[in-house]
Chain A
């Protein structure tokens, strides 16, 4: 069946997950029929709330859990039944799991020693790793003598020391405080790209997933809601759940009033919306229309168009420097979130609590959600 002129592996993704499920106690589906390909060099994020099955999926890749159904292939080889200690996959654990009785360099050397590498080669590799994560002067310390950020870097060095085919990151920044997290994110991605290792990371933090990943999957109840690039998922969420989970969003509900070839009219409580077509739908069908807060504009003047604007009262505002965030209460009682760039509009520079305003947006700012 393979094309004879091509190697059978030419089109094989590095990681292929085929219909994998994990069922506990006979009926609890932690992971439900997941299928996914990850190409070499990708940083793939599994994003979801707690209990969505993302960690279970990662643990099946590492070999700590065996799938109840389905197969996992790495570089074309079936590794579903392979025990963890034989997989060319390494994992950076949530809260690191650094061996407390071993020094930093012994922690990094641990995996190399198991491979029976020569002593000098191990020392050389450990040194290179320490240099990569800028911890050369801490080689002799024990993990408990390091700060959280340093421990995180040791954990990273340990997990890439063996040059795994696939690197798994379990909430890689979860144990760090917020300020450190942002700088570490970039550093982590830089190191991963420098080493050139393919990554699957698990996170509940959508910002973390979006900044680090080249592609991501939003998970809920054991299955994927949407798979795509961070940008595609942010701009074109395919469901209410995804739109809600990724960033903040305003969702208008209402029935489809008119279904045209390239747009639909949706009658919501506060406005008539003219949404460019993206999903098949029928007249009268209940749909949601999602609009990101930063795609809205505020004005005291009533916009001239008949559609795509609402009237309301400013009930809350917060200045963030680069932007100002407003909460606008509509006639129906719904509260809109609107973000306005600080330099954007002189017109609303003096907006205040209690002011009557109009929020408006462009046609392409809206996404039609049919599920």
Chain B
């Protein structure tokens, strides 16, 4: 057996050890499917638009390559206030979505984590259940619920609480409903994973030292679940900023979100460099604060 292992070791090339393979696969995945596309988008954003495609960045003048960078898209982005307003509005919608998801998701995850074991599996399945239906269908379903002659308005009219239908669809309200509804599971799951591991002895120790259960929640449970809160907020906030489908279907014309601007630049204006620039700036807006946060975290721990 030992000799077999040794001969195997000798016959495989040095770089192809199992360890490198295991580490290398996800890195390769990331490079090809995440990093490379971002580079391509960056390249597009710095190019000039021709009728059906973007211009090549490198042209050859004899033996010398000449690289042409066109930053006009970025300049336009900076000069037009609509873009800034859209970014801010996207971020604030994403922010409110995150806060609402946290507010609704934390208690849910908390009681789920403390429910009897056999209930936990059932509750977990209920959280996952919506994923079995297409995301798009679920958003359309909300449309039929919220529309003027939809289920909710009809029900309210029937009880006589309202005289005329409430305008709910295509407002910021319907947008927020759709966003919170769609992203809530992404808040609950990491919180549940974190809270279910919380050692009950910490809560007992706090009670033992004279801490009221309500105060224990803020002094012990919340700080100890910080990792879950951070993970949940990131999982909600980041995709929410760039959300396109929900504002398109539920948001109406007045809800500015960067995802729709992207769509317009690509498909209506056919301005790929502009769309690329909008994307790159959005990426930076999200990634920079995260990077700073991570750095502060790791420094705080050391």
Q: Do the two chains belong together in a single complex? A: yes
Mark interface residues in B3-17 (1 if CB within 8 Å of A CB, else 0): 000000000000000
What is the minimal beta-carbon distance from A164 to any residue of chain B, in angstroms?
9
Q: Determine whether B212 belongs to the interface, using a CB cutoff of 8 Å to chain A.
A: yes
Q: Across the interface, do B202 and A97 meet the contact criterion of CB distance under 8 Å?
A: yes
A85 touches which of B213, B220, B224, B226 (Cβ 8 Å): B213
Q: Across the interface, do A99 and B205 meet the contact criterion of CB distance under 8 Å?
A: yes
Q: Across the interface, do A111 and B201 meet the contact criterion of CB distance under 8 Å?
A: no
Q: Across the interface, do A83 and B209 meet the contact criterion of CB distance under 8 Å?
A: no
For chain A, residues 67 to 120, give those with C-beta under 8 angstroms from any C-beta of chain B.
83-86, 89-91, 93, 95, 97-101, 110-111, 114-115
Q: Across the interface, do A110 and B207 meet the contact criterion of CB distance under 8 Å?
A: no
What is the minimal beta-carbon distance from B252 to any residue of chain A, in angstroms?
44
B206 touches which of A89, A110, A115 (Cβ 8 Å): A110
Q: Determine whether A62 belongs to the interface, using a CB cutoff of 8 Å to chain B.
A: yes
Mark interface residues in B42-68 (1 if CB within 8 Å of A CB, else 0): 000000000000000000000000000
Give every chain B residue within 8 A of A93 (Cβ-Cβ): 201, 204-205, 208
What is the minimal beta-carbon distance from B285 to any residue of chain A, in angstroms?
30
A216 to B156, CA, bound (A): 70
Give every chain B residue within 8 A of A62 (Cβ-Cβ): 204, 208
Q: Across the interface, do A84 and B220 meet the contact criterion of CB distance under 8 Å?
A: no
What is the minimal beta-carbon distance from B89 to any residue of chain A, in angstroms?
36
Q: How many pairs of A and B residues are in contact by the CB < 8 Å rule?
A: 62
Q: Provided the pairs A99-B202, A99-B205 are in contact, do residues A114 and B224 lie with their beta carbons within 8 angstroms?
A: no
Q: Determine whether B223 belongs to the interface, using a CB cutoff of 8 Å to chain A.
A: yes
Q: Across the interface, do B211 and A85 meet the contact criterion of CB distance under 8 Å?
A: yes
What is the minimal beta-carbon distance from A201 to any residue of chain B, in angstroms?
15
Q: Whose C-beta in chain A lies nearest to the C-beta of B216?
A: A85
B210 touches which of A95, A99, A100, A162 (Cβ 8 Å): A162
Q: Whose C-beta in chain B lies nearest to the C-beta of A114?
A: B210
Q: Across the interface, do B207 and A63 meet the contact criterion of CB distance under 8 Å?
A: yes
Give every chain A residue within 8 A of B209 (Cβ-Cβ): 85, 90, 110-111, 114, 158, 162
Q: Determine whether B299 belongs to the interface, using a CB cutoff of 8 Å to chain A.
A: no
- Number of A positions contacting B (CB below 8 A): 24
Give every chain A residue within 8 A of B80 (Cβ-Cβ): none
Q: Determine whether A64 belongs to the interface, using a CB cutoff of 8 Å to chain B.
A: yes
Give every chain A residue within 8 A of B215 (Cβ-Cβ): 114
A367 to B199, CA, bound (A): 46
Q: Provided the pairs A97-B199, A101-B224 are in contact, do residues A85 and B204 lie with their beta carbons within 8 angstroms?
A: no
Q: Across the interface, do A84 and B202 meet the contact criterion of CB distance under 8 Å?
A: no
Q: Whose C-beta in chain B lies nearest to the C-beta of A111?
A: B209
What is the minimal beta-carbon distance from B262 to any residue of chain A, in angstroms?
40
Q: Whose C-beta in chain A lies nearest to the C-beta of B210?
A: A114
Mark interface residues in B168-207 (1 if CB within 8 Å of A CB, else 0): 0000000000000000000000000000000101101111
A97 to B211, CA, bound (A): 15
Give every chain B residue within 8 A of A95 (Cβ-Cβ): 201
What is the minimal beta-carbon distance from B93 to any residue of chain A, in angstroms?
32
Q: Across the interface, do A99 and B220 meet the contact criterion of CB distance under 8 Å?
A: yes
Give every chain A residue within 8 A of B212 (Cβ-Cβ): 85, 114
What is the minimal beta-carbon distance from A64 to any residue of chain B, in angstroms?
6
Q: Whose C-beta in chain B lies nearest to the C-beta of A86?
A: B210
Q: Across the interface, do A85 and B202 meet the contact criterion of CB distance under 8 Å?
A: no
Give every chain A residue within 8 A of B224 (Cβ-Cβ): 99-101
For chain A, residues 153 to 184, give those with C-beta under 8 angstroms from any C-beta of chain B.
158-159, 162
Q: Across the interface, do B208 and A90 meet the contact criterion of CB distance under 8 Å?
A: yes
For chain B, residues 262 to 281, give those with C-beta under 8 angstroms from any C-beta of chain A.
none
A93 to B206, CA, bound (A): 11
A47 to B219, CA, bound (A): 35
Q: Whose C-beta in chain A lies nearest to the C-beta of B199?
A: A97
For chain A, residues 34 to 75, give those with C-beta under 8 angstroms from any C-beta of chain B.
62-64
A158 to B215, CA, bound (A): 18
A159 to B224, CA, bound (A): 21
What is the minimal beta-carbon distance from A58 to any residue of chain B, in angstroms?
11
Give every chain A residue within 8 A of B219 (Cβ-Cβ): 110
Give every chain B residue within 8 A of A101 (Cβ-Cβ): 223-224, 226
Q: Whose C-beta in chain B lies nearest to the C-beta of A62?
A: B208
Q: Across the interface, do A97 and B205 meet the contact criterion of CB distance under 8 Å?
A: yes
What is the minimal beta-carbon distance from B104 to any residue of chain A, in angstroms?
25
Q: Provided the pairs A100-B224, A101-B224 are in contact, do residues A84 and B201 lie with their beta carbons within 8 angstroms?
A: no
Q: Which 10 A-B pairs have the closest CB atoms?
A: A111-B209, A97-B201, A114-B210, A97-B205, A84-B207, A85-B207, A101-B223, A91-B208, A114-B211, A85-B210
* B residues with CB within 8 A of A: 199, 201-202, 204-213, 215, 219-220, 223-224, 226
- A-B residue pairs in contact (CB < 8 Å), sample of 14: A63-B207, A64-B208, A84-B204, A85-B211, A90-B208, A95-B201, A97-B205, A98-B205, A99-B205, A101-B224, A101-B226, A110-B211, A111-B211, A115-B210
A sample of 12 more A-B contacts (CB under 8 A), given A63-B207, A99-B224, is A63-B208, A84-B207, A84-B208, A85-B208, A86-B210, A89-B208, A97-B201, A97-B204, A98-B205, A99-B202, A110-B206, A110-B209
